Amino acid sequence: MAEFLVYEKSHWMDKPNEYERQMLLIDAKPDLTLEQKLKSKDAFATKYNARYQPGDIVEVRPDGYWGEPDERDKHGWNHTAFALVKVPKLKVDGKYMAALEDTSVLEQPILLKRREYSVAALDLKPGETRVVERLADARIEAKSG
């Protein structure tokens, strides 16, 4: 069985108007030139696009790694931010923890998404553990850039 630790919390950057507020804060800095402000905005936009999003697979571990419900703190996963999806008879594959990157410039790859794969079919809540019989039941999908 593979156990998928899935991010299931709203990110602070997703609060209403937070993105716009951050951009206004950059604009309000009197000590920055226009070029510096544009660079700062680009840097924040890149960080915003790469944030964890609900459904993102953060870790994949072998059966029993995260423990049973009575062992909630076996490996210390945050029950207020993550859910656990268990899939019996599935071999652990690290590809599900990969980040989606633009590697067109090999010296400086750009992180497009913090995680490439997301659980699309399950309506999970933080702290919840769900067992699915087949990987297809969770509808794990690759994100696009």
Question: 81-103: per-residue pLDDT in tens?
Answer: 999 998 888 888 888 888 777 76
Closest CA to 5 of 64, 86, 68, 123: 86
What Rg, from alpha-carbon coordinates, does the chain have? 18
Using the predicted structure, report yes or no on whether residue 68 has a pLDDT greater than 80: no
CB count within 10 Å of CB 95 equals 10
CA-CA distance, 90 to 82, in Å (whole number)?
20
Instruction: Provide the domain count of the chain.
Output: 1
Question: In terms of DSSP H, where are the helices of the chain?
Answer: 18-27, 34-49, 135-138
Instruction: Tell me the one-letter amino acid at 85.
Output: V
Global confidence as pTM: 0.74
**Domain of residue 108, residue span:** 2-142
